[in-house]
Amino acid sequence: MAPARNARVLFSSIPKDYPIPGETTVYDASQTIDIENVPLNGGFLIKTLVLSVDPYMRGRMRAPEVASYSLSYQIGESLNGYGIGKIIRSEDPNFPPGKYVYGKNIPHQEYSVLSSSLDMLFVIEKDPKLPWTAYVGAAGMPGQTAWMAWKEYSNAKKGETAFVSTGAGPVGSMVIQLAKRDGLRVIACAGSDEKVQFMKEIGADVAFNYKTTDTREVLKKEGPIDIYWDNVGGEILDAALEFTAIYGRFLICGMISGYNTGLKGIKNLALAYPKSITLHGILVLRLFEKHKDEFYATVPPLLASGDIKYKEDISRGLESVGDVILAVQEGRNNGKAVVIVAEE
């Protein structure tokens, strides 16, 4: 068999603010691979099917000497992230051919030789009622983040009020539904009227567009809030601090408002002690082993039955990755951003 194309998406330069398609990331179709003979060195060869594009990827687009919880991308190397691949060949009995693998470091290329030594890499079975795309979204890392952290930290009590920022996103929309299942009243915000409508459809009691409505005015009227799920930081986090209840719990998942333009100082943090606020920083990597078995036993069936709803924003082809990364950073995606690289 002649060598096959092995297109990839390279990290080409460190962005100053928003990542620029074709400059920060570059699609390259010059590489080939001999699928039948490429050395596996005890590992296995996958064909990439689905890739996830997530907000945290912006933080990896930095100089390697800048320390963080995740490794930086390397200039001239393929991006990587959460994804699903089909095993084509294998020298590892734990990853047999024909099975499917999920991982958090799947290269953004058509074919890859992987090793079982990679962190969070395992064979995954699919519910026949769900597409593979769901397994990098509501049944993948975003869903895990919401479900595991809510279970671990929310201490939710029926009748309380929760406030969820980025409530139409893959994490926030799951949090809204988990809060409603626990009997909470939910306030949620997002950046478009279409997203506001989706939040209402999945159960938010109060949903608003933070770009056209004053967050402080909403929280002043609808609060105080007992639980705040933060995906954005900045002014919305400041507003939540101002209008939280005594013994409020803050679950800090992300601060995308400052990823590309610089983080802004929080003015109201001094309210944390008179209000006895508890703050939990969330990284799913630190919750995964504790909750993974219950998550996979519980969440995919709820998604398949429609008891928990999710929304996807699907693009096709590796060449779209750069544009999708920018769309996520700018908040233009409408649902979980997923790139389908290949069909089975």
Quick one: 199 and 250 in the same domain?
yes
Quick one: 148 and 280 in the same domain?
yes
The domain that contains 153 carries what CATH number?
3.40.50.720
Residue with tokens 């309380």: 160
Pairwise CA distance, residues 223 & 99, whole Å? 49
pTM of the full structure: 0.95
Does the residue 300 lie in any domain? no
Note the pLDDT tens digit of each residue in 115-157. Answer: 988 888 999 999 999 999 999 999 999 999 999 999 999 999 9
- Of 41-50, 64-73, 133-142, 273-282, the one with minimum mean pLDDT is 64-73
Question: Structure tokens of 233?
Answer: 């930081």
For residue 20, name the pLDDT band (cuts at 50, 70, 90): very high
HSE-up of 257 (CA within 13 Å, CB side)?
20
Quick one: 82 and 207 in the same domain?
no
Does the residue 306 lie in any domain? no
Quick one: 53 and 92 in the same domain?
yes
Residue 188 DSSP class: E
Rounded to an integer, what is the distance from CA 134 to the centroid of its chain?
12
Closest C-alpha among 137, 12, 18, 20 to residue 81: 137
Residue 7 DSSP class: -
Quick one: 45 and 57 in the same domain?
yes
Note the pLDDT tens digit of each residue in 309-337. Answer: 999 999 999 999 999 999 999 999 999 99
pLDDT reported for residue 140? 98
For residue 6, name the pLDDT band (cuts at 50, 70, 90): very high
Cis upstream peptide for 224 (omega within 30°): yes
Pairwise CA distance, residues 200 & 185, whole Å? 12
Quick one: 108 and 167 in the same domain?
no
Quick one: 14 and 130 in the same domain?
yes
pLDDT reported for residue 117? 85
Quick one: 188 and 272 in the same domain?
yes
Does the residue 87 lie in any domain? yes
For residue 259, name the pLDDT band (cuts at 50, 70, 90): confident
Beta bridge partners of 252: 230, 281
For the chain, how many residues are written? Answer: 344
**Strand, coil or helix: what is 91?**
coil
Do the Cβ atoms of 190 and 200 come closer than 8 Å? Answer: no
Domain of residue 322: give its range.
Answer: 4-137+311-340
Do the Cβ atoms of 71 and 138 come closer than 8 Å? Answer: no
For residues 178-198, average pLDDT: 97
Note the pLDDT tens digit of each residue in 91-121. Answer: 999 999 999 999 999 999 999 999 988 888 9
The domain that contains 20 carries what CATH number?
3.90.180.10
Does the residue 132 lie in any domain? yes
Domains: count for the chain: 2
